[in-house]
């Protein structure tokens, strides 16, 4: 039996990482004991329990990244902590409290527990950004590495796979809207990465492999898939795999900002867009083609330590997008 891994954050990414760690991935027969920890981990645990070996999926332990004392108990005896600290919507204070200070709290607790740490950030993290999400992702990274210089940072681009929040959302929107919108021509570029490949990367890092440890310790890995698409091309792909015909219309960024201002006042729903999200669409979200010295290659990590290349959206989306987008 492999090491004990605590996944700090239950949800789409956390459940896929749990599966990879307990079921194994291509090229590995190492199986780890996994514990889910978040403010409310029971639901994800109940969903995974029938699918996984009960000896490997440990009972969940509730934890709150804004309450350091709760992390000490959650991380007890952990060999590796996977930090999925993050929020998509909220006030500036929420972003500061969770993505910045919460990330720092997790790093301190992981170090105190003697556990290695994989911290998830995002491509586009920028300490000088006016966008709270991007700014606090960068501040969180800096705080993590200041506390725990040996930590590994993973920055994904757009993550896709069954249950994702992007392709499924636009698949559903294509049912109810007469067109799919893009802002500013939809020219910003993305490098979608399959959630299973991210889970493979974490499983590889979790192995007791000195060569892998040396390759990722204290490094930043920008995680992108094998292809780059514009936002407009992504809308065309949604329509292709939902088998729907809709025009893709470009709207001005100013209109998107106005829509965001209104939608921010309402509960989060299928049509929610925020001003910050519209602003983010002005920038590319792809792997740096000329990475600095403190970066390591996500692609090399995955492909050199497993038996298959990174997955394309054209390989994965047909397996789930059409059927899932037809259900509300």
The alpha carbon of residue 202 and the mean position of all alpha carbons in its chain are separated, in whole angstroms, by 12
Q: Are 175 and 271 in contact (CB under 8 A)?
A: no
- pTM value > 0.75: yes
Write the pLDDT tens digit of every residue in 192-201. 999 999 999 9
Tell me the C-alpha distance between 241 and 318, whole Å.
6
Write the pLDDT tens digit of every residue in 78-92. 999 999 988 888 889
Asked if CATH classification 2.60.40.420 holds for the domain at 4-160+193-224+286-307, the reply, yes or no, is: no
Q: Could you tell me the residue ranges of all domains in the chain?
A: 4-160+193-224+286-307
3-class secondary structure per residue, 137-165: HHHHHHHHHHHCCCCEEEEECCEECCCCC
Q: Are 206 and 196 in contact (CB under 8 A)?
A: no
Lowest mean pLDDT: which of 172-176, 211-215, 322-326?
A: 322-326
Tell me the C-alpha distance between 127 and 125, whole Å.
7
């Amino acid at each position: 039996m492999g090491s004990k891994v605590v996944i700090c954050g239950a949800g789409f990414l956390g459940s896929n990482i749990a599966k990879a760690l307990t079921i194994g991935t291509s090229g590995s027969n190492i199986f780890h004991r996994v514990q889910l920890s978040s403010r409310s981990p029971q639901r994800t645990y109940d969903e995974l329990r029938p699918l996984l070996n009960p000896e490997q999926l440990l009972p969940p332990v509730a934890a709150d990244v804004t309450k350091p004392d709760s992390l000490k108990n959650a991380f007890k005896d952990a060999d590796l902590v996977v930090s999925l600290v993050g929020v998509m919507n909220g006030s500036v204070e929420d972003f500061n409290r969770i993505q910045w200070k919460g990330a720092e709290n997790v790093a301190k607790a992981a170090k105190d527990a003697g556990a290695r740490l994989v911290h998830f950030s995002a491509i586009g993290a920028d300490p000088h950004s006016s966008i709270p999400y991007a700014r606090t992702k960068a501040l969180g990274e800096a705080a993590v590495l200041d506390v725990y210089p040996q930590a590994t940072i993973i920055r994904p681009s757009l993550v896709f796979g069954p249950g994702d929040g992007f392709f499924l959302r636009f698949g559903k929107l294509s049912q109810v809207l007469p067109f799919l919108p893009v802002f500013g021509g939809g020219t910003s570029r993305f490098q979608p990465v399959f959630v299973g490949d991210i889970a493979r990367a974490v499983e590889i890092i979790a192995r007791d492999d000195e060569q892998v440890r040396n390759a990722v310790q204290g490094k930043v890995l920008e995680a992108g898939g094998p292809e780059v698409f514009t936002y407009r091309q992504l809308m065309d792909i949604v329509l292709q795999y939902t088998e729907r015909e809709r025009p893709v219309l470009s709207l001005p960024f100013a209109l998107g900002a106005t829509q965001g201002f209104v939608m921010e006042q309402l509960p989060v729903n299928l049509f929610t867009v925020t001003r910050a999200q519209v602003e983010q669409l002005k920038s590319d979200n792809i792997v740096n083609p000329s990475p600095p010295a403190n970066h390591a290659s996500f692609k090399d990590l995955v492909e050199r330590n497993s038996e298959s290349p990174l997955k394309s959206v054209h390989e994965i989306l047909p397996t789930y997008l059409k059927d899932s987008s037809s259900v509300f």
